[in-house]
A = this chain, B = another copy of it.
């Protein structure tokens, strides 16, 4: 069984110096990858330069990506040759289109004509007191996985912040259906601390709880191996 794991977080460049990123460290993906490797499974880990990674070993391949576009390209290539995708990477929702001073925004009609512009300079000037950054929604990579490989087992991840358990489960089940995922690992930032990582592995009927990153990894691997039997 060949396991594809994504970990860490994508970054979207604003210019050659600045970018929008998220606080994902790659820790959870690393722990899942290490447990898979110890179980004797072959792992391809798609991650970023700054993410923490397992130590090199024969049955581990590491592929580094940067932004959503490079993630999509890499997964399109790798998904067809793997049996499972554990998609723990925090993928950017939005990508910068154009950044300019507030005055230009106030003096442009209609405002959406600014979406046609791009910043030519390598480092956007920092003279204005206020700047305005226009961002465009990125394509949802997870929604393409089952098109690339209808047979792959797909485990998606959903991180929300300070919501009720009902809302967390609802959002996770919506994602499950929409992306044809087999499981969604649903978690809330409020339940994550250095020593704890509360989460639920959700399928259409059930929600299996976990309290730590190790428990999350064990739970996911247990479910994958069950399905194979």
Q: Which residues in chain A, 96-131, are within 8 Å of chain B measured between CB atoms? A: 97, 102, 105-106, 110-112, 115, 121-123, 126, 128-131
Copies in the complex: 2
Task: Report the minimal beta-carbon distance from A36 to chain B, rounded to whole angstroms.
Answer: 25
Given the known interface contacts A17-B161, A130-B136, A134-B130, the answer about A102 and B94 at a Cβ–Cβ threshold of 8 Å is: no
Task: Report the minimal beta-carbon distance from A171 to chain B, rounded to whole angstroms.
Answer: 11
User: Are A133 and B133 closer than 8 Å at their CB atoms?
Assistant: yes
User: Are A126 and B17 closer than 8 Å at their CB atoms?
Assistant: no
> A162 interface residue, CB < 8 Å from B?
yes
Which residues of chain B come closer than 8 Å to A94, judged between CB atoms?
A: 126, 131
Task: Report the minimal beta-carbon distance from A35 to chain B, rounded to whole angstroms.
Answer: 25
B interface footprint on A6-29 (CB within 8 Å = 1, 0 otherwise): 000001001111111111000000
- The interface residues of chain A, by DSSP majority, are classed as mixed
> A63 interface residue, CB < 8 Å from B?
no
> A181 interface residue, CB < 8 Å from B?
no
> A137 interface residue, CB < 8 Å from B?
yes
| A19 CA to B11 CA, complexed, in Å | 10
Name A24's closest neighbour in chain B (CB-CB).
B17
B interface footprint on A143-167 (CB within 8 Å = 1, 0 otherwise): 0000000000000000111100000
Which residues of chain B come closer than 8 Å to A191, judged between CB atoms?
A: none
**Which A residues are within 8 Å of any B CB, using their own CB?**
11, 14-23, 50, 90, 92-94, 97, 102, 105-106, 110-112, 115, 121-123, 126, 128-137, 159-162, 189-190
